[in-house]
Amino acid sequence: MQNRTDIDLKGVPQTLLLPLIGRAKLSQEKYSPIKDEKAIELVNTLNYDFEKLLTIAIVKQTSLIFMARAYQFDEAIKTYLKKYPDAVIVNLGCGLDTTFHRIDNGHLTWVDIDFPNVMDLRERLLPPTQRQIYIKSSVLDYSWMDKVKSLGTNFFFFAGGLFMYFTNDQVKSLFTTMANQFPNANLIFDNIPLRKLKSANVMLQKSGMKDALLQWSIADGKKLEEWSPKIKLSYQYGLFKNIKGKYPFPLTHQLWMYYTDFLDKSEIVHLKFG
């Protein structure tokens, strides 16, 4: 048996394991709209007790959430690439995300940004290709923006499970700065309702991630437009839009997805910078 790669992550960086195992687990189901072979490969490479996460945190519903987020981001990026095939796609707080390996069109420039220790791990497990740039930086250290601006003219940013760890002031500062630095760029991210933050934090604590707690949520994406005249809401929609009813999920999954979209209000938010 080959040697597995050890992980030594604390706090927020440790949470990168949750979507990874969630995508890997659901990708092996015949009804999944995404097949993330790279995620499965990574799980089999890492020396980590994923069974503990599967028992405590990654129940079927959690895997569905991570699958849906990946699907929505994939579709949004692919739509953008049809118009701008040589665009710069920027993954904020990338962790061990594998979106590049699912949607690369052979022309884009890809940027992954995360803490230095996370990027060190990523370099070992997912060495960058010629069109991938790895930036070792906190997203809140805005020096990365100058590096990214030098790479092209059409920018699409996405962030999965990131902004909810920030304070409102941090999110506001980041969004307004990006709007000023990247006119006409797009930003897509996921959002969970404020009332769900508490239960999500309980799950993180049970998973041994007590130093990584969620704190930010936005009830109405239109409110973000009040932060700057350069921030415009393109759309805000349910996490399972175009998934429920389209793929052959078991009935219990279908019902839960309808509940989540219409009552729970976990959503995808897409902004355009003016």
Q: What's the CATH class of domain 5-273?
A: alpha beta
Reported as type and span, the H/E element at residue 56 is helix 50-56
* 160 neighbors 139 (Cβ within 8 angstroms): no
Q: Is 106 left (phi over 0), alpha (psi -120 to 50) or beta?
A: left
1 has pLDDT over 70: no
Residue 268 pLDDT grade (very low, low, confident, very high; cuts 50, 70, 90): very high
CA distance linking residue 105 with residue 265, whole number of Å = 32
Under the banding of pLDDT at 50, 70 and 90, the label for residue 5 is: confident
State residue 229's pLDDT score.
98
- Where do the structural domains in the chain lie, given as residue ranges? 5-273
pLDDT band at residue 53 using 50, 70 and 90 as cut-offs: low
pLDDT in tens, 189-238: 999 888 888 777 777 777 666 677 889 999 899 999 999 999 999 999 99
d(CA 78, CA 64): 21
- Collect all residues with Cβ–Cβ distance below 8 Å to 241 and sequence separation of at least 6: 72, 261, 268
Q: Strand 46-47 to strand 5-6: parallel, antiparallel, or no bridges (unpaired)?
A: parallel
pTM for this model (two decimals): 0.93
With beta carbons less than 8 A apart as the criterion, state whether 135 and 111 touch.
yes
Pull the structure tokens for residue 176.
Answer: 């307004």
Written as six digits, the tokens of 198 are 């508490």
Kindly tell me the sign of the dihedral angle through the C-alpha atoms of 19, 123, 112, 213. Answer: positive
- pLDDT at residue 4, rounded to an integer: 81
At 62-88, the pLDDT tens digits run 889 999 999 999 999 999 999 999 999
